[in-house]
Structure 1
């Protein structure tokens, strides 16, 4: 998307660039800014996504902004010098530790020449002094309506200082073409048990609140309804949580699903798995701020079944409401999956869930702030 107004210089600041939704969102927005003719700078402690970021035209500046300790205060003066040198139009903070560094540096800069300050609430942060820095920005972005309501009720942020902008996805990445014949051939060579089955997909890192245990219970019930399905869990255990993976394997075997559910670990080809699947599952056991797997799967044309709560409920309501089931009702979940496998799903994901819309809305926030100067 090409913006016709004068180009901007945007600095995004986050802890690191290793993996995760915040990191992916930062890199994707940076790429779209560059495509639109803007200057994009990202400040972080580094990580494996830096090379790709730079290759797509952004500048990366490595700085230890990730530490949740008083030692981070030593980065305030260097940050102030850096921002003075860069002269950006906007500084966009995406996490609490770097937000403290940026805010303490920014507030001592000349109000008539300093950049405008924006923050994105990527989650429903704990309500305390540390988290409150995210509400000190001149304008705030909420990634979902439930996050926006949380900001209003817990941080008393005025309505006019919040803009709701869902995380955008790239239609060039999430579509049916990702699942090529060659990809399927290689997948079936590695996992022959998947061939000829309806794939029931469970994407997401292995974590107790993400719902993999509920997924196994659901698969046990689904297999009583039909035998032509196979569950696929995509995702790794969190660092230091390998024991949870062992628990899941034990539960799978205890439920008699050792040949019905396959764990494939971390994969970089998740769009192909979405396109292969008959149904994608979202089963978090608490409100998730956004639930990125829901619109990603819908964008590929694959229906999603999810518990009716949080950000996942919002995006499913927008694109495929028939996929919603009562929260924590595993029996209803299995019945809905069974129904959707044989149904012709009519999926209509709104434009607001795509990168082009996210970029336009975010640039709108930036330009309105600059116009107030």
Structure 2
């Protein structure tokens, strides 16, 4: 019997904490999981410094509380007492921390609460953080969720954590949002009116925040090779630079022009319609230049029915191995990457993404962790 089929089980009050709600995989995952909590009849609260996703979060039934829990500064410790008062007033069942600064504030606040009545404390390792005292707070939670095998190995290799305190739960995606049957005809017509160069082209998609380690520079190098093989291809970069880092976009645009790709690569900025871009694309690229903890764009694209080419490392490698292993390329081999994209564009592909990569499975597994923790008598 699934969690949804147990009306006798009392609803939970879950508080998630993260720095802000602007963009990024952690942010989107938090909002989607919050929506799933509400759909299942639980009380969902998110604490952050705010951002562009707050309105969507509230419309979908989650309470948002704004607190400055985002600053990587000792001044953030002034938020511990206000956080303790807030958590005591919320009377939650679970505190779920998703980032280090909020984790420190929440952990220090939680530690000062009554051990007999305080909420249970859960953390999710969304990354393989630098190994130091600052990062170690993520391992102080009563139970830890790892989003991939490589993250779980990282935790066990670097922190004295009982393996029984770790549960591997891949970040889940919304099956409806990324359905391969999604009708995009009207959306496509509007897109071509804004970006006419895309019409009639094989779209090679590069989604993700504009930051050096995500691999946009490698993508441009790859596209310079690919368009020589396939003039019918057009690269589309979806994503924007973080506030204060717009200079990187300018660098990428200059590099595009230097490579002679002004007519072959389009930057479309931050978009809320990424699912439609996946459906439009012939191939999605994942080119992070270091081991990525998960690589959300890989399962999203596969769930949309669009093949992915990615470097064989990190969490992206795990999900691609599970759903489309033909897309794996040796790390940093741009020549082979371009050849593999060229090969896959016209190939008959078979994509089989396991259910564990979907939101329903993630939510059931995470709520299962919550309930097991609540059933324990000791409270840290």
> Is TM > 0.5 for Structure 1 vs Structure 2?
yes
SS at match of 1:305: strand
Shift of 1:88: 1.1
Residue 242 of structure 2: aligned partner: 238
SS at match of 1:146: helix
Any conservation in 2 of the 1:179–1:273 contact (CA below 8 Å)?
no
TM-score w.r.t. the length of structure 2 is 0.95
Residue of structure 1 aligned with 2:191, choices 178, 183, 187? 187
Residue 299 of structure 1 pairs with residue 285 of structure 2: no
Any conservation in 1 of the 2:24–2:209 contact (CA below 8 Å)?
no
SS at match of 1:248: helix
Residue 49 of structure 1: aligned partner: 53
Residue 135 of structure 1 pairs with residue 139 of structure 2: yes
d(CA) in 2 for partners of 1:242, 1:75: 30
d(CA) in 1 for partners of 2:121, 2:274: 34
Shift of 1:178: 4.1
Residue of structure 2 aligned with 1:315, choices 289, 298, 319? 319
Residue 166 of structure 2: aligned partner: 162
Shift of 1:38: 0.8
Residue 335 of structure 1: aligned partner: 339
Residue 103 of structure 1 pairs with residue 104 of structure 2: no
Residue of structure 2 aligned with 1:206, choices 207, 210, 213? 210
SS at match of 1:91: strand
Shift of 1:51: 1.8
d(CA) in 1 for partners of 2:187, 2:121: 44
Residue 81 of structure 1: aligned partner: 85
d(CA) in 2 for partners of 1:193, 1:73: 51
Residue 265 of structure 2: aligned partner: 261
Aligned pair count?
373
Residue 116 of structure 1 pairs with residue 120 of structure 2: yes
d(CA) in 2 for partners of 1:237, 1:68: 19
Residue 62 of structure 1 pairs with residue 66 of structure 2: yes
The unaligned stretches of length 5 or more in structure 1 are none
d(CA) in 2 for partners of 1:263, 1:369: 45
Residue of structure 1 aligned with 2:20, choices 16, 41, 53? 16
d(CA) in 2 for partners of 1:180, 1:209: 31
Shift of 1:181: 1.3
TM-score w.r.t. the length of structure 1 is 0.97
SS at match of 1:176: coil
Any conservation in 2 of the 1:45–1:62 contact (CA below 8 Å)?
yes
Deviates more, 1:46-55 or 1:238-247: 238-247
Residue 90 of structure 1 pairs with residue 94 of structure 2: yes
Any conservation in 1 of the 2:207–2:239 contact (CA below 8 Å)?
yes
Residue 145 of structure 1 pairs with residue 157 of structure 2: no
d(CA) in 2 for partners of 1:265, 1:84: 41
Residue 287 of structure 1 pairs with residue 291 of structure 2: yes
Residue 353 of structure 1 pairs with residue 354 of structure 2: no
SS at match of 2:370: helix
d(CA) in 2 for partners of 1:357, 1:368: 16
Shift of 1:69: 2.0
Any conservation in 2 of the 1:13–1:92 contact (CA below 8 Å)?
yes
Q: Which digits, 9 at most, give the CA deviation of each residue in 1:96-122, with x for residues without a partner?
A: 111111111111222221111100111
Any conservation in 2 of the 1:142–1:164 contact (CA below 8 Å)?
yes
Q: CA RMSD in A?
A: 1.4
d(CA) in 2 for partners of 1:243, 1:47: 21
Any conservation in 2 of the 1:3–1:37 contact (CA below 8 Å)?
no
Shift of 1:3: 5.0
Any conservation in 2 of the 1:43–1:63 contact (CA below 8 Å)?
yes
SS at match of 1:167: coil
Residue of structure 2 aligned with 1:196, choices 187, 193, 200? 200
d(CA) in 2 for partners of 1:47, 1:212: 25
Q: Which digits, 9 at most, give the CA deviation of each residue in 1:297-347, with x for residues without a partner?
A: 001000000000111111101111110000000111111101111111100
The unaligned stretches of length 5 or more in structure 2 are none
Residue 2 of structure 1: aligned partner: 4
d(CA) in 1 for partners of 2:211, 2:73: 26
